[in-house]
Amino acid sequence: MAKVCLLFLLWAGLCLPLCAQQKTISVIGSSTAAGYGLPEADGSIMLTTNSNIDDDKPVNSWANRLRRYYNNLGLLHELDNFAIYGEDLYQAQADGFNPPSGQNWPDQNNNITRALSVNPDIILINFPSNGYDVLDAQTVMDLLHSLYQQAIANGHTVCYVCTTQPRTSDGFVPIDARMELKTLRDRIVAEFPANYIDFYTPVVDAAPESSPGVPNPNYLGILPQYAQGDGTHLNEAGHNVLFNAVLAKNIIPIASLPLSVGKIAVKRIDDTHITVSFTVYPNNTERQFFILVKDKAGNTKSVRVIIPDKTKDSQIVSETIQIY
C-alpha cells in the first residue's frame, strides 16, 4: 500500500456558528476561469465551454476548488461561473454598452449584467490576456474599471479583479507583449489595491536567464510546472496556485471563536481515508468547527466536526476524513 504523505492542520481559532450567512459568488472571465484543458471527473479533457454547465466539469479548476472549499465550510449558497473560452473585456461589459468599431459586443449570457442577475455577494473578474496584445494598457484598465464599477454599484456586491497571467502564445511571443502583461499586473495591483487577486506573480517564470549568460526562452511565460504546454493555459497544479491566491484574499471573512483541544492522533484507514481523534476540553462556546487536511499535492479539504456535548468535561472526538 503506497504511503500517503499528509500535513494535518487544526485551526484552533476557527469555529463557526450554525447560523453563518452563506454567500453567492459570481465569476466572469475567459478560459482560465472556465477550466479549459483540465481533466473532468471521468478523465476526459475540458476543451469546450459552450454552456456554463461545462464550467462545472473540470473538477480541479480554481473556481471549482473554491466552490468545494466554501461548500465544505457551509459558507456558500452558490457559485455561478459565467466564464467562457475566448471571451474578452468587451464581451464582459454591461448590456447596452456600445463597443468601438471592430470590437465584440457584450455577451448577454455571460457578461457583468448576467453575473449581477443572481444577486451575488461577491464577483470575481478573471480576464488574463485575451486582446491585451492589441489593446493599449489604458483601454484595458478603463474596461476593468467599468466592470468593477458596475459590480459594486448596488452597494451590496464586493468585487475582486484578478490580475493578468503570463502568456507566450499567439500575439504574446514578442517579449514586449509579455512585458505588457507584467505592466498590466502592476497597474491592477496599484489601481485596485484592496480588491485585486494576484494570478501573475505565483506562476510566472521571472528568470531572464536559464543559466548564467544563457537567455531563458520562457522568460515571462508560465513556469513549466504550472503550464499545460500551449503557452496560455495552466494545468491543475497551476489552478491550485490560483485557488490559494483567492483563499489568501479572504473573500468570505471567517470569524474566529475559541476552541480548546488537546492531543491529536491521526490513523490511516486505507488509501483514501484517515481518522483523526483528539481530546476536546470543556467550556467551548460552539459545538462545531473545521479541520483542514492538506495532502502532498497541496489539495485542501475542509471537514465539519461536531462536539457531541460542549458542556461535558474532556471528551474524545473522532472524525473519518476522505482524502482528495
> 300 lies in which domain range?
261-322
Provide CB contacts within 8 A for 138, sequence distance 6+: none
**What residue ranges in 66-130 does DSSP mark as E strands?**
76-81, 122-126
Whether residue 52 is found in the same domain as residue 79: yes
- CATH of residue 217's domain is 3.40.50.1110
From the list 298, 289, 222, the residue with the least C-alpha distance to 62 is: 298
| Domain closes at, from 187, 220, 248 | 248
pLDDT at 53 over 60: no
Its pTM surpasses 0.85: no
Whether residue 153 is found in the same domain as residue 60: yes
Alpha helices (H) in 30-107, listed in sequence order: 31-34, 62-72
Grid coordinates in use for 71?
A: 461548500
Q: Are 50 and 21 in contact (CB under 8 A)?
A: no
Whether residue 152 is found in the same domain as residue 81: yes
From the list 220, 226, 225, the residue with the least C-alpha distance to 32 is: 226
Q: How many CB atoms within 10 Å of residue 103?
A: 17
Q: What is the pLDDT of residues 114-156, one digit of tens each?
A: 999 999 999 999 999 999 999 999 999 999 999 999 999 999 9
Residue 8 lies in a domain: no
Grid coordinates in use for 253?
A: 471573512
| Domain closes at, from 248, 277, 297 | 248
Residue with cell 471527473: 41
Residue 153 lies in a domain: yes
Amino acid at 302: S
Please, what sign has the CA dihedral across residues 78, 61, 148, 92? negative
Grid coordinates in use for 84?
A: 467562457
The count of domains in the chain is 2
Whether residue 265 is found in the same domain as residue 244: no
Q: Are 321 and 273 in contact (CB under 8 A)?
A: yes
Dihedrals phi, psi of 174, to nearest 5 degrees: -65, 140
Q: Are 310 and 286 in contact (CB under 8 A)?
A: yes
Q: Are 193 and 200 in contact (CB under 8 A)?
A: no
Confidence at 209, pLDDT banded by 50, 70, 90: very high
User: What distance in Å separates the CA atoms of residue 65 and residue 63, rounded to the nearest whole number?
Assistant: 5
Q: What is the pLDDT of residues 240-294, one digit of tens each?
A: 999 999 999 999 987 554 555 666 677 777 777 777 776 766 666 566 666 666 6
| Domain closes at, from 200, 227, 248 | 248
Compute the mean pLDDT over every residue in the chain, rounded to the nearest whole number.
84
